[in-house]
Structure 1
Amino acid sequence: MIIRPQPKSWELLFIHQGSIIGNVIGKIVFFTGFAICLQLIHHFVQPLPDVSITAMGVFGIALSLFLGFRNNAAYDRWWEARQLWGQIIADSRAAGIEVNTYMSQAQVRRNWLGYLQMFLYCHRQQLRGEALDSPPRDWCDAQACERMLSAANPAAAALQQAGEYLNRLHTDGDLDDFGRLTLARRLGKFAYAQAGNERIASTPLPFVYSLLVRRTTYLYCLLLPFALTGEVGWFSPLIAAVVAYVFFGLQAVTNELEHPFADVKNALPLCAITRTAENAILEALGEPARPAIEARDFVLN
């Protein structure tokens, strides 16, 4: 995610980090070159067919509405994912308070919160499609850690083992009924947030709708120079470049927002978010917090 102060007006023209110009520069160059070729043919070879500029204007408005709708749908996914991870942070802090209330032994508290630590790690890695190669094994015993990592859904397995640990504590008399009920409900909230994130990750926007918008954008940018050649002359390549930047740039932004867990500049900073949740657990145990993850070159990962 891009984290930077609001730039001054003149700085907007020179900011590259956080823009999508790198993603669409090839398309901009192509359609600018296409407009230049058409302009050369129109002036030096033979006049080109005249496309109504009014019709292209109506076409452009309709395309803008489609792109805006798709962008809003993608942003809703991004914002819902951020809310779910915000809930995970809140539940991590609440879990730290609750274990200090209901569990008297420090090692017992550390063991149970260790399952939450494993949940945070596994859930983040799964959402980003990364391998579970270096989990914080010091939080759980080796046998429990291996069971989690070998499960079909390691994050869900971590919550399941946390629930089983509550049952063992209750059976041994180290946790009363109300404490077990409260902490079990807390695990349920973690599971609810996990399911919401997995739903977002596994259910992209309908492909047929995205395909229609992309095809229409290409068609519009190909037809636009025919309408501009006779109307604005040699300004047509500049206008074609601006239109390509706006329409394809909006598509590029939408594509990144559609996948809020991907490791791209405009996605959610999952590493920073999980570090905040982990520090809430460490502070509940009276242990020093790890350094917060800072943005590098205005990008927070």
Structure 2
Amino acid sequence: MHAGSHFRIRTFLYWTRRNILWLTILAVIPTVLYALLDFHWLAIPWQPVALVGTAAAFIAGFKNTQTYNRSWEARKIWGAIINDSRTWGLMVKDFIVKENITKEELHPIHKRIIYRHFAWLTALRFQLRKPEAWENTNKSYFKEFRKHYSVPEWETNLEDIMRPFLTEKDLQYVLKKKNRATQLLSLQSADLRELRGEKLIDAYPYVSLEGLLKEFFTHQGKAERIKKFPYPRQFASINMFFIRLFSLLLPFGMLDEFAQLGDYGVWLTIPFSVLVGWVFTSLEQVGESTENPFEGGANDIPMAALSRTIEIDLREMLEETDLPPAVTPVNEILM
């Protein structure tokens, strides 16, 4: 997630420079042929170009709206995880109680359950960062921009991160599973059932805690739905085809229009076709970089930062003072 007020223009130009390069080549070739070699037959009427541009603008606007909705839904899911995690910590502390057992004796139980929740957050974000075939991690602009920030889930080891939160038995059990986040919630449920059998949780609080586990399953399922189901490829493809077709036709449609301005007016075809084409290709690239909010891009949901916020809040509920630092932006990118 970009944590600044806006992307700087030089950053955006650097990010889209490949589009600018091929748009310039597309504009220079027909303009040179038209102006220097009198290939006036290259010029085409502006009306069909405008019609293609209208279709491209419509489909680009549709795509950007839908990809933003995917990103915003992902942010709402993690916002709900934050709220329910705080509720989880509060309920674990206040509902797992028993007469004649001191707060100090209950503390290890509270810590075990809350720390296992930290492990669930860790496992979930690692699963959501796993690359998929339709994501943009193989794109050149993605790889180059990755030099400006780091993705914690790609640069750390899951086992090392989860080890402080779990017993060795639980850790080895979870690592053998495919969907580790699911199995951690299953362990939480089994633990609550044992505590209920030991009369450490009354009936109504037990039902409430199990209901909160159900909410965590729901949040996880919603995030997995976004991760595993891409923005429909037919819409993504037609958006790319329309914009590239429009960018290709654009200089041919501008030749006669600018030639009417005088002997050298035709040369204005180059900057203006590049400018208009850049607007459309940038719209396409922005939509593309927004459609997968868990892929590790600069516009992603900052899951590591949000997980750390939850961890700090719940550790304070446990009266801990040795707290981990909050995750801070790197070059204005927060992950």
What TM bracket, shorter-length normalisation?
over 0.9
Equivalent position of 1:4 in the other structure:
4
Equivalence map 1:1-301=2 (5 Å) = 1-5=1-5, 15-17=9-11, 19=12, 21-45=13-37, 46-104=39-97, 105-129=106-130, 130=154, 132-232=158-258, 233-288=266-321, 289-301=323-335
Q: By how many angstroms is 1:244 displaced? A: 2.4
Partners in 2 of 1:255 and 1:39 — Cα distance?
A: 31
Secondary structure of 2:173's counterpart equals helix
Residue 280 of structure 1, CA deviation: 2.0
Contact 2:30 2:42 in 1 (8 A): no
Equivalence for 1:9: none
Identity of aligned residues (%): 26
2:23 maps to a residue whose letter is F
Aligned-partner Cα distance in 1 for 2:15–2:5:
23
- Note the C-alpha offset of 1:268: 1.2
Q: How many residues get paired?
A: 293
Deviations 1:164-203 (A, max 9, x none): 0000111122221122111111111111000000000000
Q: Contact between 1:23 and 1:252, CA under 8 Å: does it hold in 2? A: no
Is the partner of 1:36 in helix, strand or coil?
helix
Consecutive unaligned residues of structure 1, counting only runs of 5 or more, are 7-11
TM-aligned CA deviation for residue 49 of structure 1:
2.9
TM-score normalised according to structure 1 size: 0.93
1:138, 1:296 → 2: CA distance? 26
Letter in 1 for 2:66: A
CA contact (8 A) 1:89 1:277 kept: yes
Query: TM-score, normalised on structure 2?
Result: 0.84
- Conserved? CA contact 2:250–2:277, under 8 Å: no
2:193 & 2:76 partners in 1: Cα distance? 30
Gaps of 5+ in 2: 98-105, 131-153, 259-265
Deviations 1:59-84, CA, capped at 9 Å, x for gaps: 21221110000111100000000000
Quick one: distance in 2 between partners of 1:231 and 1:216? 22
Output the amino acid matched with 2:5: P
